[in-house]
Amino acid sequence: MASLFTRIIQGDIPGRFLWRDDTCVAFLTIGPIRPGHTLVVPIQEVDHWVDLPQDLAMHLFAVAQVVGQAQMAAFSPARVGLIIAGMEVPHTHLHVIPIRTEADLDFVRADPNPSPASLDAAADVLRAALVAAGHAHVVTA
């Protein structure tokens, strides 16, 4: 059975996509710890990140870095945090989170019910930052 993320990638479940290439996608999480909290997800279902082929792992980290740079431009956080937890969905995903302090890396702080307008606004500002940086794989709304 397809994972939740595969269903989002395939369009069966809506998602606020920022990036799509032949290998991975990036979309906003529906439970953001901070505005702009993005997931970088391989199209190929791989449950545990340690089982990723090395070239795929490198690509995911490269895309996460691009997303992080866009978050820096869009939100001016103190840092961008990166978490690979993988407990909630059995499909590798990197959490890229604009943070003010290390406390912002705590999933207890996730907003379980963000407004659609706030998610749309975060997606729009991140897409604009990606386009301004010259990236070709930006998904337009």
Can you tell me the distance from the alpha carbon of 15 to that of 125, in angstroms, rounded to the nearest whole number?
16
Can you tell me the distance from the alpha carbon of 39 to that of 43, in angstroms, rounded to the nearest whole number?
12
> Domains plus CATH for the chain?
4-129 (3.30.428.10)
The residue among 12, 16, 34 whose CA lies nearest residue 26 is 16
Global confidence as pTM:
0.97
Taking only the tens of pLDDT, the chain with its 141 residues reads 789 999 999 999 999 999 999 999 999 999 999 999 999 999 999 999 999 999 999 999 999 999 999 999 999 999 999 999 988 899 999 999 999 999 999 999 999 999 999 999 999 999 999 999 999 999 986
